Amino acid sequence: MYRKLWDQIPFSQRHRFSAVTALCIDEFGDLVGSRFPQNITDSDSLEIRYRYKVRGDKWGFQRTDVLRRFPFPEPPNERFVIEGIVWRAIARQFKTRYVNEALLINYCHDVDQSLRLSNAPAVLHAESFRLYLREVLVHDLSWFRFAPLTFIRDAAKYGRFAFNCGVSPLARTFAARLLWFVTLPVAYLYHIRDRTRRRA
């Protein structure tokens, strides 16, 4: 099915695409998250997230030659890296064909809700989260007007994880530094809460 959807992209345009992504349903046949704006939407994951507000699990493939061009970072003393670092980098250079077809059944109701709600991964992998949020603030603020609250929350979380890692929370661009400064009190409160949880 994915090969058929890929082959429907005109050959002359195919070099601009890296993936095909479809919808997921749960074991009861209900859609997981929301649909794409059109039955066939040629876009990227940043526009899909910020402009079109598409949410929920999706399923698809990436070209292996593109994946090889965007290796996962390997921060010292960190075994977990957020996949979004790579997906966002790809989205800045390649398009994805999104289709409103459900091609995966996601048995999400079998997942222990306590695992979903746990804050432990964020506390244990602060450096990975810091790197991810730095990428968001440095490279993707052009989408700010579509989702300002999302970026404000991300700036606060960036400051939080920077405090947790013991590094300067200042990002590299003026806009990112401004967001960091505005959200600094919230970021520090997050940091204090994380430190209390680690001690507990």
The domains of the chain are located at: 1-110, 112-200
Q: How is residue 109 annotated by DSSP?
A: G
pLDDT tens sequence for the chain (200 residues): 778 999 999 999 999 999 999 999 999 999 999 999 999 999 999 999 999 999 999 999 999 999 999 999 888 877 888 999 999 999 999 999 999 999 989 886 554 444 443 455 667 788 899 999 999 999 999 999 999 999 999 999 999 999 988 887 666 788 888 998 999 999 999 889 888 877 76
Q: Which residues contact 136 (CB under 8 A, 6 or more apart)?
A: 88, 151, 154, 158
pTM of the model: 0.85
Q: Bridge partners of 95?
A: 17
d(CA 3, CA 134): 35
CB atoms closer than 10 angstroms to residue 107: 8
Q: Which residues contact 4 (CB under 8 A, 6 or more apart)?
A: none
Edge-to-edge strands, sheet with 58-62: 40-43, 95-106, 17-26, 58-62
CA distances from 120 to 60, 71, 129, 136 (A): 29, 26, 12, 22
